[in-house]
Homo-oligomer: A and B are copies of this chain.
Amino acid sequence: MDTPLNNLGIVKRNILRADQSAVERLSRFGVATIHEAMGRVGLMQPYMRPIYSSARMCGTAVTVLLQPGDNWMMHVAAEQIAPGDVVVAACVTENQDGFFGDLLATSFKARGARGLIIDGGVRDVKDLTEMDFPVFSRAINAKGTIKATLGSVNIPVVCAGAQVNPGDVVIADIDGVVVVPAAIAGRVADLALAREENEGAKRAMFASGVLGLDYYKMREGLEKAGLKYID
């Protein structure tokens, strides 16, 4: 096939990364807060789990599209990593082989990567944990891969149910993984901050015994909806 129909076999070198100050500001918030600030969208599916419980990352996406059982493109991606990036790897089909291990992690780290999000498997988890190289994946799996078929780097991908464009901000913590489109990163950071400023006061109220029913003035709405208290 002469002309690519489908973005396979392509590496895009220049990508528009989200504004660094917005990334830095987003890095202060949790995934749940950011996802709420965006209007409750942008999450990957909850099967994406950290390989160790303190894993956490925030950075700009370098995307990879993998073929099943083949991690050739991970090596291609390594070269495209700039400091502060997070690699986001999707696969053209469901596959949980161990596409990534300690050697690639060493290479990614040397390039300045802040972590990996992969809709597939990962191995050498003990080493990755010791290196404190955060990975969120759908599986831990020792299964090795080959290097035979082209995928792509820095094209738009669907990873664990979320659309990710190169340069988007990706934030991951124990609660999950959220993707913030580059164009709205600053505004989402503002909204996240507004939410967060609110939280301290709320927490104090609730700790003192005030109920959400009263704080959020829900009683009237519940009654209108027909809620009945019985003894």
Residues of A within 8 A of B (CB): 1, 4-14, 30-32, 35-43, 45-46, 49, 52-53, 67-70, 72, 75-76, 78-79, 92-98, 101-104, 106-107, 109-111, 121, 123-126, 139-144, 146-150, 156, 158, 161-163, 173-176, 178, 184, 187-188, 191, 199, 202-203, 206-213, 216, 218, 221-222, 225-231
Contact = CB atoms under 8 A, between A and B. Distances in A.
Nearest to A222: B76
A106 B75 contact: no
14 contacts: A5-B37, A9-B226, A9-B227, A31-B142, A43-B141, A43-B143, A68-B69, A69-B93, A75-B212, A79-B211, A107-B206, A123-B176, A124-B175, A140-B175
Contacts of A121: 46
A89 to B, nearest CB: 14
Contacts of A6: 38-39, 41-42, 184
A211 B228 CA distance: 35
Closest A-B pairs by Cβ, 4 of them: A68-B69, A75-B212, A142-B175, A46-B141
A142 B144 CA distance: 25
